[in-house]
Structure formats: C-alpha cells, structure tokens
Structure 1
Amino acid sequence: MNEQRIAVITDSGTDTPADFVAAHDVRVIPLRINYSDGSSYENGVDITTEDVVRRFDEEIPSTSLPSPMKIRDTFEQARRDGYVGAVVVTISSGLSATNETMNMVARQMEDFPVVVVDTKSIGVAAGLVVMEAVRQVEAGMPLDRIGSVLGALSERTRVYFSVQKLDFLRKGGRISEAVYRVGSVLNIKPVLMCDEREGKYVIAKKARGWSRALDAQVRLVVENARQWGRVRLAVCTYDPALRDELVARVREHVGAVAEIVELVSCGISADLLVHTGPTLVGMAVQGI
C-alpha cells in the first residue's frame, strides 16, 4: 500500500501488465464475456483469453460492462483494506460506458473520494496511464490534482492497431460495411487509432497487405516519438513470437529518434480480442 493510502483501480480493458498489477496492488474490475447459451464470465477471473480464442470457431461472444454493484464492491473492498480514496483509470468513454458507470458509482460513495480518469484510449495504451497513476500516487501526488495530471498525459498517449482479418471489427460495428468490403477485396488493412477528442476508433492509415500495415504502425509510433523526444512504448499481440519481433523493431526505430524510458510488451485480454480477433497487433506511444 502506498503511503497516501490511495487505491488505483482500473478495468480489464486497459490491459495493464499482470506483473505490474500484482506488484502495486492495482485493483482490476473485469468486463464480462457473454455467450448465446446464457453463460457469462468475468474476464480474467473465470475465463481466460485462451478459453475465448478456442471457442471462436463456435461463437464470437459479446462483452458487457461490470455491474454497478461489482464496481461498488471493489470500492468498498479498497476501503476495508485501509485505503482512504481511489483514482480510477478507464478505457475510452467513446468506446464503452464503463467510464460513465464508474463515475456514477463514485458519486454515490460517502467519505471515500474517487477520481475517475477517461484515457480516451484502450488496451495497453490505457494501461500506460494506469502505470503512471501508480507512480504519481506513490510519489505523493494529491488526489485532487492527479486527475488533471493523468488527463494531460492521456492527451500525449497514442494507440495504433491493425488486424489480419476484418471480420471481428465488422461484427462489432467498429468498421463500416464499405470499409470491410473494400478491405477484404483489395487486401487493404486499416491501421486504427482512438481520436483525441472522443476516443472513438478512426482510421490513421491504410496499407495494402499485412506486412505493410505493421510497417505503418511502426512509422506512426516513430513520428510521435520524434515529436515528443522522450517516450514510453508498448507492444501487444496474442502471438508471443510476433510480439518479440515487433518489440525489437520498435526499439530499433524509435531509439534512433527519441529516448525510450520504458518499453512494455504484453498479451491481449479476452474482452478486446472479442472485438478484434486473435490477429490483433497494438502499439502505443506516450510522450513524457
């Protein structure tokens, strides 16, 4: 527990690395994975990413928010564990109502102040903001200032991702039917990002073929790193071998133009793969 006794809480969609979560007592509220037979699971609690991927041939499930009761229970448990307040870091409000629900429950808490931060991002890019929340709390940043600090950091955090197959993005309504048809016929792979204003998916680049899409992601990260000069980076994918290859590429190319303070590599949580499929490759860059 940090000396301020401020808890750091997030949702599973931020993909904050598990070892960091364990080392710093970050409380993760799981999103839910739902199947058509009525079964429902808490991501990372009673279903794993591997479980979900194995069942993709049978069914692509849906996801849902953690319930207000689950969020309230997490806040109350933090209080029982000796914390006197909390900072909550969520995935983009433009992609999920998780942030809105966290805010609603936070307003109902008495004598337990809660600051909720909208990263306007998703996956490990949002996870980088969670990690900075921990550093700020442990360094003594007051709770009434941490929201503005993390909000400014979120504006300097970018995520880029692409997939080999567009079917999952189409099913989840993340891309239009026109983009899906053109991409499928012409082998166009859009590189997506979260826009800075609303945190919704927009196309950052279009590339013909998978290899060029990955190249485009690396170039976008390099462009941001060159602008900021000093950065934290992250690479995430379900495929460990590809992850290692991309980490080496990102380190080489970004290292030529900027100082890399940290480079995080991780897998991808089930609630994100449901909407993108197992071929997802994500890269994040954060100016510091």
Structure 2
Amino acid sequence: MNDQRIAVLCDSGTDTPEAFVHAHDVRVVPLRINYSDGTSYQSGVDITADEVIERFKDEIPTTSLPTPEAIRQALEQAKADGYEKAVIVTISSGLSATFQTAELVAHMMDDFPIVCIDTKNIGLAAGMVVQRAVELIESGVPFEELEARLTKAAENTRVFFSCKTLEYLRKGGRINEATYRLGSMLNIKPVISCDKQGYYFAVKKARGWEKALATEVKLAREWSVFFEKVRLGICCTNALDVFDEMEEKLRAAVPNALPDIQRTLISPDLLIHTGPELVGVSVIPATEEDPAR
C-alpha cells in the first residue's frame, strides 16, 4: 500500500502489465466475455486469451462491461484493505461504457473520494496511464492534483495498431462492410488509433503486413518528437510474437525513448474485437508535458 492510501483500479481492457499490477496492488475489474449458450466469463480470470482464440472456430463471443456491483465491490474491498481514496482508470468511453459506470458508482460512495479517468484509449496505451497514476501517487502528488495530471497524460498518449485480418473489426462494428471488402481485396492494412473522443480511426493505410508494422514505428517516431522523453510499449497476440523485431525497430527510430520498452499480450476481451493476429505500439511522454508543436 502506498503512503497516501490511494487505491488504483482499472478494467481488464487497459492491458496493464501483470507484473506491475502485482507489484503495486492495482485492482483490476474484468470485462465479461459472453457466449450464445449462456456462459459468461471474467476476462483474464476464468478464461484466457488462448482459450478464446481456440473457440473462435465455433463462435466469436461478445463482451460486456463490468457491472456497477462489480466495480462497487472492488472499491469496497479496497476500502476494507485500508485505502482511503481511489483512482479508477478505464479504457475509452468511446469504445466502452465502463467509464460512465465507474463515475456512477463513484458518485454513490460519499465517504470514499474517487477520481475517474477516461483514457480515451485502449490496451497498453490505457495501461500506461494506469502506471502513470501509480507513479504520481507513490511520488506523493496530492489526490487533488491527480485528475488534471492524469487527464493530460491520457491526452498525450497514443496507440497505433494493425490486424492481419479485418474480419473481427468488421464483425465488432469497428469498420464498415465497404472498408472490409476493399481492404481484403487490395491487401490494405489500416493502422488504427483513437481520436480525441476515444473512437477508432484509421491514421494510415498500408499495403501489406510488413508495411503496416513499419508504419506503426513511423507514427510512434512522429508522435515522440513532440516530447523530451517518452516511454514505449509493444503489444501483440501469441500468434504474432514480434516483440524482438518491433523493439529493435523502435529503438532505432525513437532515440528519445526510455530504455525499458514494455511488452504485453492482448487481453481476452480486446482480441475478440481485433482478432488473434494484432500488433501495436504505444507512446506516452515521460512527464505530463505539453506537446512541443
């Protein structure tokens, strides 16, 4: 427990590295994965990414956000464990209603001050904001300053990812049928990010998979130049273990990156919407500085 007794909670879609979660007592509230036979699982708790992928041949399940009761229980447990306040960091409100639900629950807990942060991001990019929350709290930043500083950190964080197939983005309603058909016929791989409202959009379109990965690195470099120092992260699925390859390219392309480039696998709930073959990179400034633009 940190000296300020401020708990940090996040949802499983933030892809916060497991080792960091355990080392800093981050409380993860899982999204749910639902199948047509009525079975429902907590993402990363009683179903793994590999198990979800194995069942893709039979069904692509749906996901649902944590219930208000699940979030409340996590907060009540943090309170019982001795925490006196909390910060909740969620994936983009443009892609999930988890943030709105967290705010609703927070307003109901009058005796337990809570700040909710909408990262307007997804996956490891959101997880980097979770880590920034822990860093600020453990360095002694007052609770009253956390919302503004974490909001700025979220605004300056970017994710760039590509999928080998557009099938899952289409089935999840993230791209339309015309984009799917055209991309499939011409081998177009869009490099996707989140806009200021937290919705997916195609930053660039690359012809072929290798060019898509190269474009991710290029975009990471272009965003990184606005800051003195940045932290980088790489995320992918088990089917595409390209960590070493991507790290080598990022180190060469982003000279102002801190040495510890993070690596994480995609959570089960996220890969349902992106598919089993995804690679992405994330960038967050080392401090909450304004972009030098």
- Within-5 A mapping of 1:9-24: 9-24=9-24
The one-letter code sitting in structure 2 at the alignment partner of 1:167 is E
Describe how 1:63-74 pairs up with structure 2 within 5 A.
Answer: 63-74=63-74
Residue in structure 2 matched with residue 6 of structure 1 by the alignment: 6
Is contact 2:251-2:257 (8 Å) kept? no
Task: Tell me the distance in 1 between the aligned counterparts of 2:94 and 2:259.
Answer: 29
Which residue of 1 is the match for residue 54 of structure 2?
A: 54
Structure 1 alignment gaps of length 5 or more = none
**In the alignment, which residue of structure 2 is the partner of 1:275?**
273
Q: Does 1:194 align with 2:194?
A: yes
Q: What residue in structure 2 maps to residue 266 of structure 1?
A: 264
Q: Secondary structure at the match of 2:4?
A: coil
Give, in whole Å, the separation in 1 of the partners of 2:12 and 2:163: 21
Alignment of 1:1-288 (within 5 A): 1-196=1-196, 198-239=197-238, 241-255=241-255, 258-260=256-258, 262-288=260-286
1:169–1:275 Cα contact (<8 Å) kept: yes
**CA offsets per residue over residues 105-154 of structure 1, 9 Å max, x none?**
00000210010000000000000000010011111111121010000011
Cα deviation, residue 254, structure 1: 1.0
Percent identity, aligned pairs only? 54
One-letter amino acid matched to 1:69: E
- Aligned-residue offset at 1:227: 2.0
Q: Quote the offset at 1:236 in angstroms.
A: 0.4
Question: In structure 1, how many angstroms separate the alpha carbons of the residues matched to 2:50 and 2:242?
Answer: 17
CA contact 1:84–1:112 (8 Å) conserved in 2: yes
Aligned residue for 1:99, secondary structure, equals helix
RMSD value over aligned CA atoms?
1.0
Report the alpha carbon displacement of residue 260 of structure 1 after superposing the two structures with TM. 2.1
Q: CA deviation at 1:262?
A: 3.5
Q: What amino acid is aligned across from residue 212 of structure 1 in structure 2?
A: K
TM norm structure 1? 0.97
Aligned equivalents of 1:88, 1:248: Cα separation in 2: 34
For structure 2, the residue ranges without an aligned partner over 5 or more in a row are 287-293
| Secondary structure of residue in 2 paired with 1:227 | coil
Return the letter of the residue paired with 1:200.
Y
**Residue deviations 1:179-221, cap 9 Å, x none?**
101101111110010002x010011000011111111001000
- Looking at structure 1, the residues matched to 169 and 91 of structure 2 have their Cα atoms a distance apart, in angstroms, of 18
In 1, distance between residues paired with 2:30 and 2:251? Answer: 31
TM-score, structure 2 as length reference: 0.95
**Counterparts of 2:285 and 2:56 in 1: how far apart (Å)?**
36
For the residue of structure 2 that corresponds to 1:83, the secondary structure is coil
Superposition misfits of 4+ residues, deviation over 4 angstroms = none
State the alpha-carbon separation in 1 of the partners of residues 50 and 215 from structure 2.
28
Shift of 1:36: 0.6
CA positional deviation for 1:261: 5.3
Q: How many residues align?
A: 285
Q: Deviations over 1:213-257 (max 9, x none)?
A: 1110010001111221310110000136312211221122112xx
Contact 1:231 1:261 (C-alpha < 8 Å) held by counterparts: no
Query: SS where residue 258 of structure 2 aligns?
Result: strand
